[in-house]
Amino acid sequence: MTSIRNLSRRGFLNMSAAAGSSLLLPSGMLTSAFAADPLPAIAEEDAVIGFGHVGPITDEGWTWSHHQGLLAVKEAYPNLKNILEVENVPYSADATRTYRQFVSEGANMIFDTSSTGDFLHQVVKRAPEVAFMECNGHNPDLPNLGWYYLAHWYPTYVLGVAAGHLSKTGKLGYVASFPVASVYASTNAFLMGARTVNPDATVQTIVINSWFDPQAATQAGTALIDNGCDFLFGIMDEAGYLQVAESRGVWAAMWNTDIRRYGPNAYVSSIIVDFKDFYVDQVGKRLAGTWAPNQTLLPMGGGVDRDVWGQNVPEEVGKAADEVREKIIGGWSPFVGELKDKDGNVRVEADQKMTEMELYNWDWSVEGVSGLEG
């Protein structure tokens, strides 16, 4: 992270209110606002760092990826012995209890890897001497809390291009967890990519109310295929619908890690996530006493990317999608109006480019995506 622009909080607010343009800097860091008094430096051997995860670190998916980040921190700071890690933190008041426990164990910095929202913020407010970073969080204006996430809509758009080429029916299936912003961004970007190839493509979504429920994901995948979908995508922390796609002979794209061995024939690619450098950087700053609450979206190529194409993906399809990928890395954005929602209302005016914050907080479906909004 070389070019960090430091802004005062008020400066940031003014700027985001005034400017319609993207706030994303090349580093991925949107803003970095210094608290009135930066938290003091700590010696490596005295520091306590806490990680709270939504799932088990053995999930081969989201939590595993964050755990790799923890291991990278350990490697980068060998004298940092005190790293607390709790798996399966539920999205309930138990999350508050877990993070309170981190604080009472003397944590200096705490990462919430799965946006527990208010449950975390209640702790943040009462522990001003602790640095908090919330993954996919939303900043409720607390001086010791920042957030970080991935600009996953770009590689998702790239996968959408591939899906447009690969799908014969033009019906794309999506196994969704909850109707939350990251799922809106994911389904929309996926369809927008596919429509550059097949203008009639649609995305059918089934919401299963979980990030990790192999049985429900399997059922949803089966139902989507029965409905005519021949390409499955979704944000799941496991390989359930990939196995369905493999046995039914359709395509599938995944999230988090390379899990092609669960369905080598069906596997197209995956949204690969990598938090290692980010965690090492953040912990380093906290130790040095230079940490400030920042809002960071890791960009494509710097924390999130598509995976190596699957064995059955024709070379020209991978090439066509990769050309789009290069264009995006070069600075081009596909998320430009005119965009209509599913009811036909114009939501983004012609030639208007969506900002990173608009993409991050996307809460409506583009025309052609069904199943998320009641």
Binding site for another protein (CB under 8 A): 50, 56, 84-88, 90-94, 96-98, 100-105, 115, 117-119, 122, 126, 136, 138, 140, 178-181, 207, 209, 361, 363, 374
Of the two residues 77 and 102, which places its CB atom closer to another protein in the complex?
Answer: 102
Tally of CA atoms within 13 A in the half-sphere of 271 that contains its CB: 28
Of the two residues 208 and 252, which places its CB atom closer to another protein in the complex?
Answer: 208
Of the two residues 323 and 363, which places its CB atom closer to another protein in the complex?
Answer: 363
How far apart are CB 74 and another protein at their closest, in Å?
Answer: 14
Residue 271's alpha-carbon distances to 157, 312, 323, in angstroms, are: 10, 18, 17
How far apart are CB 325 and another protein at their closest, in Å?
Answer: 27
Tokens (6 digits) for 133: 């970073």
How far apart are CB 96 and another protein at their closest, in Å?
Answer: 8
How far apart are CB 248 and another protein at their closest, in Å?
Answer: 28
Of the two residues 92 and 290, which places its CB atom closer to another protein in the complex?
Answer: 92
Of the two residues 57 and 300, which places its CB atom closer to another protein in the complex?
Answer: 57
How far apart are CB 235 and another protein at their closest, in Å?
Answer: 12
How far apart are CB 126 and another protein at their closest, in Å?
Answer: 8
How far apart are CB 354 and another protein at their closest, in Å?
Answer: 14
Residue-wise over 1-30: b if at least 16 C-beta within 10 A, else e? beeeeebebeebeeebeeeeebbbbebbbb
Handedness of CA 141, 142, 143, 146 (dihedral sign): negative
Of the two residues 4 and 180, which places its CB atom closer to another protein in the complex?
Answer: 180
Residue-level length of the chain: 374
Q: Using CB atoms within 10 Å of the CB of residue 351, give its burial: 0 to 12 exposed, 13 to 18 middle, 19+ buried.
A: exposed
Of the two residues 82 and 247, which places its CB atom closer to another protein in the complex?
Answer: 82
> What span, in angstroms and rounded, lies between the C-alpha atoms of 263 and 181?
28
Tokens (6 digits) for 5: 């622009």
Of the two residues 75 and 94, which places its CB atom closer to another protein in the complex?
Answer: 94
> What span, in angstroms and rounded, lies between the C-alpha atoms of 166 and 172?
10
How far apart are CB 351 and another protein at their closest, in Å?
Answer: 25
Which amino acid appears at position 205 of this protein? Answer: T
Residue 84's contacts (CB-CB under 8 Å, 6 or more residues apart) are 48, 49, 50, 51, 102, 105, 107
> What span, in angstroms and rounded, lies between the C-alpha atoms of 219 and 244?
9
Contact 338, 346 (CB under 8 A): yes
Residue 64's alpha-carbon distances to 43, 54, 108, 273, in angstroms, are: 28, 10, 23, 10
